[in-house]
Amino acid sequence: MTSDADRAIETIKNDPQFKELVRKRSTFAWTLSILMLVIYFGFVLTVAFHKELLARPLGTDLTTTIGIPIGVGVIVSAFILTGIYVARANSTFDDLTAQIVAKVKK
C-alpha cells in the first residue's frame, strides 16, 4: 500500500527539475568547499614551509607581520563564501524548489 506522501516523494525524485536542482546545488557546494580548502590549506602549508614569507613585517616601524592580515583573510573568506552560498540558495535554489513543490501540489 502506497501513501500519498510516498507517491509525492517518487514524483519529486523523478522530476527533471529536482534532478537539476540537486546537480546545481551539489556542484556549487563542492566548488565553494574546494575553494575554501585551497585557501585554508594554502595558508597552513605556507605556515609550515615558508614561515619567512609570513614573518615579514608590514612596514619598517610595525611589529605586525604579513601573516596576520593573511590569516584574517582566511577567516573572512569563510564568511564571504558562506554568504555567497546563502545568497544563491535564497534565490536560485529556492526558486527551483518552489517550482517543484507547486507541480507536486497540483
Alpha-carbon Rg for the chain, nearest whole angstrom, is: 22
In a domain, 46, yes or no: yes
Instruction: Encode pLDDT of 56-102 as tens digits.
Output: 998 877 788 999 999 999 999 999 999 999 999 999 999 999 988 88
SS3 (DSSP) at 80: helix
In a domain, 91, yes or no: yes
In a domain, 8, yes or no: no
Domain count of the fold of the chain: 1
In a domain, 56, yes or no: yes
In a domain, 14, yes or no: no
Work out the percent of the chain whose per-residue pLDDT is above 90.
68
In a domain, 64, yes or no: yes
In a domain, 7, yes or no: no
- pLDDT value at residue 7: 82
- Expressed as residue numbers, the domain containing 49 is 19-105
- pLDDT value at residue 60: 79
